[in-house]
Amino acid sequence: MYMTKETIRQWRRGIGIPAVALILCAALFVGCSRDDGQEPDGGDPVALSFTAAVDGVAFAQGGTSAGLRGTSDAFTTRTTAGGDEWVQDDKVGIFMLDAGRNLPGITGAENRKFKVSDITTGALTLDDGGAEIYYPQSGNVDFIAYYPYGTTGTGAGEITADYKYNVCVVDQSDPAVIDILYAKKTDVAKSKAAVNLEFSHAMSKITLNVKAGNGLTSADISGLAASTIAFGGMPVTAELALQDGTPTTGTNLARTFSPLKAETVSATYDATFSAILVPQAADTYNGRTVVFTVGGQSYTWAIPAAEKFEAGNHYVYPLTVQKSGIVVAGSPTIIDWTVNDNNTGTAIKLPEMVLIPKGTFLMGSSDGSNLDNTNNSGLNTTPTEPNRGTNETQHRVTLTKDFYITKYAITNSQYVEFLNAKGIQGEMLKHPNIPGAGGNMIGGEYNGEHLVYEGNTNQWGVKWNTDKWIPQPGYEDHPVVWVTWYGAKAYAEWVGGSLPTEAQWEYACRGDKGSLPFGVGDGYKLDNTLANFDWKYSWSWDGSSLIADIMDTGTFPGVTQAVGSYSPNSYGLYNMHGNVLEWCLDNSDGVPADYGGTSVIDPTGPSTGDNRMLRGGNFGLDAQYCRSAFRFNDRHDHATNHYGFRVVVVP
């Protein structure tokens, strides 16, 4: 994951998909070396043990994942749905060295093979039949780790006699084999404390979002097999020096290879292809090409010599293939493929994100005043939206930049990572909007601002547990609640983003449903199959009148539900309606002021105001307050059991 949005030539670094780096936690217990016949230095020996928490390893898989406009980019996390677990029996190689020494490692701790033995806890156990590993009797140590495990040899996936990992990317059929990951932790003292080994991607990655241009049809492109696309003129082999994780200059330029094809593609493109590349410096390789064969005709994209593909970066190119050739439709997005640590040394897990394409949409709700489009504005041409607010005047909004938004609201598990990484302590705080002693509750503050509370009732969020923050038991994957606007903003900035503007939020919420009331289902109704809200007020609208015959008079959950419950919208975003109201960036005073009907570009709301906007409704509100256009606000320092948030990043 990246933190700075550094401009590289005309490219901008964006936020990554969750298939980024991983965190391997090595719980190192005090023991001693048995090297050279040494005996334990007092007491029973305690062997090293390892556990792992994972953000993901790339592998080929169909289906939907974040990364490319909400659709699969052929690579997703090599984990279960939560994105934080290894695949059973994944193999990792680990060296232990005397601090400051070069490979080989300490005798008995050279390239030891571990496997993931428990995907729930991330436990790693030795898998090579050898003796247990112990700390040396004295002195600090370094650890070098890599994935996937390799034995000694000169072939692909093997380790040479001088400790270089052989890489060959010709076969892209299983990216888990060629997505080489590397970690090094130095000067570790003998201790029972866990040692975090932060892995990063040693290779580069490229994704091509392709659509048909003049002279070709969408079917021409969508029907392409991956085998009809050839990458050429670029290195396909290299060596990774395990001592420091640096790759050698790639070789073997004569070989070609084909990428993987995504099984699902957004409406913006006709096909998506991805490949893992050997890192390539600028102005080093001339004649690099990608050749598309369409209907027997070859179309070639000549990659400029100045283009570089750096280790740990993911390069996303929008391409148009047309009869006259291939057009690169705009600058590529460079996505940092590694974990961001904010220069703290502590890895940060990226929330899963979806890329939303720039565009123009109708924000607000129709008042039905222009059914025949008499004024040619294209506004208010549908019947009055039931239960609309007077501050929802429909107007045209243009967002000039693509942006990423989290696929789900930020969860309790994600938020406690932030609190603990920042060292925020739990203490008794006074909630500003709750009078008397009832407003005193455990919470966390930073730079003088209250971020989050345990809550005095309905404790469905986070909890201070003596010395650290934990999710309330049973609510790990529920959206974080009792979070203030300050708390939401602080987390967003910690992961390299911001809160969404109202315009970004509503645009993402509406998806392909345009100006209809809801962004899920058919767009006209909201019922208990589509969202977590007060089902007693479910309603439908046929475009001209309210339909009351679907009203559900049964009970409703009355509590947050796990993120990912119910169906997503067309972008693959979950729970944009109901569950929790979501903080936005915009200022507001009192009742949110009306937009007015003037067209605007990239609006950010009023420049001043003590309140902040919230959108989307919550689990206790009826359908009218969960509409895409509904607007709510509250004090920036207020929090309750139904306020949460998402994060956006503009590449």
Question: What domains are there in the chain, each with its CATH number?
Answer: 7-59+77-201 (2.60.40.2620), 204-336 (2.60.40.2630), 412-494 (no CATH)
Q: Which of 302, 314, 278 is nearest to 68 (CA)?
A: 314
Q: How many angstroms separate the CA atoms of 107 and 41, rounded?
A: 18
Residue numbers in the chain where pLDDT is lower than 50: 1-46, 53-85, 338-348
pLDDT reported for residue 352 = 80
Task: Tell me the HSE value of 87 on the side-chain side, using a 13 A CA sphere.
Answer: 13
Residue 98 structure tokens:
């005397």
pLDDT reported for residue 369 = 95
pLDDT reported for residue 222 = 94
Is-contact 49 217, C-beta < 8 A? no
Q: How far is CA 580 from CA 26, 169, 311, 347, 645, in A?
A: 37, 45, 39, 28, 8
pLDDT reported for residue 496 = 78
CB atoms within 10 A of CB 502: 23
pTM for this model (two decimals): 0.57
pLDDT reported for residue 47 = 52
Task: Determine whether 138 is exposed, middle or buried from the number of CB atoms within 10 Å of its CB (0-12, 13-18, 19+).
Answer: exposed
- List of long-range contacts for 436-445, beta carbons under 8 Å, 24+ apart: 443/482, 444/419, 444/469, 444/487
Torsion on CA atoms 155, 159, 160, 164, rounded to nearest 10: 110
Is-contact 530 556, C-beta < 8 A? no
Non-local (6+) Cβ contacts of 128 within 8 A are: 112, 113
pLDDT reported for residue 54 = 37
Q: How many angstroms separate the CA atoms of 523 and 140, rounded?
A: 62
Is-contact 234 150, C-beta < 8 A? no
pLDDT reported for residue 337 = 57
Coil, strand or helix: which one is 498? strand
Q: How many angstroms separate the CA atoms of 556 and 542, rounded?
A: 24
Q: How many angstroms separate the CA atoms of 232 and 253, rounded?
A: 7
Q: Which of 522, 566, 514, 62 is nearest to 265 (CA)?
A: 62
Instruction: Read off the pLDDT of residues 557-578 as tens digits, 9 standing for 90 and up.
Output: 899 999 999 999 999 999 999 9
Q: Is 391 left (phi over 0), alpha (psi -120 to 50) or beta?
A: alpha
Q: How many angstroms separate the CA atoms of 316 and 259, rounded?
A: 14
pLDDT reported for residue 105 = 86
Q: How many angstroms separate the CA atoms of 313 and 235, rounded?
A: 17
Phi then psi for residue 453, to 5 deg, are -130, 155
What is the sign, positive or negative, of the torsion defined by CA atoms of 585, 590, 592, 594? negative
Is-contact 556 54, C-beta < 8 A? no
The DSSP H or E segment spanning 419 is helix 412-421
